[in-house]
Amino acid sequence: MNAALIVNAGAAKGLGADGQTLGVQTAIGESSLVNTSYGDGAVNPDGSVADSIGLFQQQSSWGTVEQRMDPTTSAGFFYDRLVAVEGWQAMEPSIAINKVQRNADPNHYTKYRADAVAIMTYLGGLGSSTLAPTTTAAPVSALSTPTGTAPATPAPIGGCVAVSGDAQALAAGLVTAMEEGRLRLLEDRYAQQIRNMAAGTAKENCGTDVRILQVITIALNTFERVGVSDLNRQCTGSLLGAGTGSSHWMNGGGNAVDFFSFDGTATTGCDANALQLLTVLDPQVPQGSRAGQIQCRSSTYQHITQFTDSPNHLHFDVAYADGPLTTG
């Protein structure tokens, strides 16, 4: 995944979590972590059209096309210029990034900070197979995950509202949420699964169960912004976790979703935001729906079975559940 490549490039340069987070924050603000081969058509001060490409939207002065399109190399270019900025570690993050990227608005990257921190927290929980260890450089304090006693973010929209049962219509709504910046997929290949469903072009074993699309929609009805890290692993060939026995893979895949953040705050699956969503979902989902974590609350759920899972996301699946959601 592009975020992990950016983080590992920072670790290879000797940067700690503080610098690595700036790298992820920059790429979110420049390209939404999508390695694009085209720019935004911005005009340079001399009147020329910028030829920016890649995760960091770097112009030709940074390197060759091949270098700028390579996530590791382009991230390395960013870090080389970052460490050349005197006092960058003491600067407000967006200001430090602006010293490197030199865009017109020095505060442009501020709104991407929470997502960058959430992604760093998620990657850190995956272990060394995905995220290289950080150096002794001081980590950003915001990398601590929320506790179960933290106040839940109030839902801007009621979670228990009528939700469509049409998969293509639901996917189209999620595409709109992605375009609005309300729904962020950690990997573009999972975002493409939703786009293909919305377009009616999803291939075999690359779809998402309509109930999972409904669950994501309900999450968006409960929180202003939602981060998703995993959908159909059979489609991507990912063998993380339980491998082919995972609910992300079995029965054609697409029977599960992993959330990594709500309203820009990383979730442990046992924090207040996760519990808020599960409370909204429980009356609506079919019996046998499952969620990680376990023993997060004193009362039991009516329809949701809990199980132990790694504390860097909220897993939800319907792989063992019969029947539709009851919404509205």
For helices 17-31 and 113-126, give the axis angle rounded to 10 degrees.
120
Task: Give the pLDDT score at 161.
Answer: 59
pLDDT band at 239 (very low <50, low <70, confident <90, very high): confident
* pLDDT one-digit tens code per residue, 254-308: 999 999 999 988 888 888 899 999 999 999 999 999 998 776 765 678 999 988 8
Lowest mean pLDDT among 83-92, 110-119, 196-205: 110-119
Q: What angle do CA 240, 142, 81 make, to 5 degrees?
A: 85
234, 215, 23: which is closest to 119 by C-alpha?
23
User: Which DSSP state fits 262?
Assistant: E
Cβ atoms of residues 182 and 220 within 8 Å: yes
Strand-pairing partners, residue 256, are: 317
> Global pTM?
0.64
Percentage, residues of the chain above pLDDT 70? 83
Q: Say what the pLDDT of residue 47 is.
A: 58
The ranges assigned to domains in the chain are: 2-143, 167-317
End-to-end CA distance of the chain: 37
pLDDT band at 147 (very low <50, low <70, confident <90, very high): very low
Mean of the per-residue pLDDT values for the chain? Answer: 83
